[in-house]
Structure 1
Amino acid sequence: MTDRGQTTQDYVIGISLVLITLVSVFVVVPTYFAPFDDPVDTEERAMAQAVAEHLVETHSVGTREHTLDYSSLTDALDDESDVTALKDKGDSGSERGSTSTSRRLAER
């Protein structure tokens, strides 16, 4: 017998734990970034542009640039008819070139 403090069973258990840990890391870590892998398609971009444009045109503070009127926005989001109008605005903006920003860019 040797004077080593490690037996074959200890070595096999240690290597097994290292391999299990490495495999689980390589399996789990990519799932953390999976939600960010899905690209946004053109229709969703147009819809987001139409909704954002509607919010800015409807709820911006007239005297300050890049500022929304918070109370007006929260009142509109609490009102069901305004939410429905916002959804309709998003649906109508899904056609390409239907937003006023797109029209302004096309005029240039």
Structure 2
Amino acid sequence: MGKWDKRRAALETRLGELNERLLEIEEALDAPAPQDDEDRATEREDDEVMERLGNSGRKEIEMIRAALGRIEDGSYGQCVTCGDDISEERLDLLPATPFCRRCAG
């Protein structure tokens, strides 16, 4: 069992959750618009919120994929800026982070 197997599994689980959520968001955004003007205005506001959630999810997906790549190449847990180890506590909170606390500033 590798040093980062638990982190890899958690990252892959989160990646699956995000992909599922993005699919739901895309389906909701593709739904036909209501005919009523007031309903359409409300839906437009809801769509904007969903788009922000989708953008946030895509960014997190990119970060997770990058973290999984670092696990594969053996650089996971090391800051990409200074090369120092990222603390376990920080990785517990932000498992996809590429930065130590100091470099994340």
Q: What TM-score does the superposition give when structure 2 sets the normalisation length? A: 0.29
Q: What TM-score does the superposition give when structure 1 sets the normalisation length? A: 0.28
Q: Which has the larger radius of gyration?
A: 1
